[in-house]
Amino acid sequence: MAWLRDQPLVVRAFRKGDRNAMGKIYRHYVDQVLRLFRLGFATGTSRVPGLFEAGAQMDCAQEVFVRAFSEPARTPYDGERPCGPYLLRIARNYRIDQLRRSGREVSDATSLETVEAPAQDPVEDRHWAVLNAAAKEYLATLDETSREFVRLRFDEEGSQIDVAKALGVTRRRIRTLEAQVAKGLKQHLNRVGLSPSSESPAQAGPSLVRT
């Protein structure tokens, strides 16, 4: 996974159990895990059903990250191996174990290594495509400093202090800039007939623009 491969400090802190590092990894991947639990997935010739209740989806996702963030799991992690597929593999195994404990059997459960990501929801994907396009339109109107702020703060998930140092400004200026960018984005979405509130907390990733 290129993101963690390019984040050696995050990986090092994660291996030591740093909560901030674990939070960054959680926010980066939680959408993928929730999507799997929401939509279900195929395994061999069978299909594991998704979970209807959002609370159940989140409970399962939390268990996945508890397992992935345990000391035996995180200590040997080097940042080179793909993290997303690893988390989804844990999620699939956990969901299959759930069904088995409830007395339901899933055939071909040993083929988890080759299972593809869950099928995408066309309606949800269209919604995100429209939001993403609108966000890109807005970012194109920003000056160079503001665009660089967005890249450092949201795409690279830098702290306010780190971004302030990179841009050569005060942290107070970064706070002001962050508020201005967020306000401007909301206004732009409203102008084009989109509501930023339609984005659920679980889907709100670290980046203003999803690529």
Residue 5, pLDDT score: 77
| Interval 65-71 mean pLDDT | 90
Domains and CATH numbers, the chain: 2-114 (1.10.1740), 122-198 (1.10.10.10)
Residue 155, pLDDT score: 65
Closest CA to 93 of 69, 60, 59, 119: 60
Cα dihedral value 28, 29, 30, 34, nearest 10: 140
Closest CA to 136 of 176, 180, 188: 188
Distance, CA of 118 to CA of 115 (rounded, Å): 9
User: 190-202 pLDDT, tens per residue?
Assistant: 888 875 444 433 3
CA 50 to chain centre: 19
* Confidence class for position 117, pLDDT limits 50, 70, 90: very low
User: 92-104 pLDDT, tens per residue?
Assistant: 989 988 888 776 6
User: 8-53 pLDDT, tens per residue?
Assistant: 898 889 988 999 999 999 999 999 999 999 988 887 667 888 888 8
Mean pLDDT score across all residues of the chain: 77
Residue 120, pLDDT score: 46
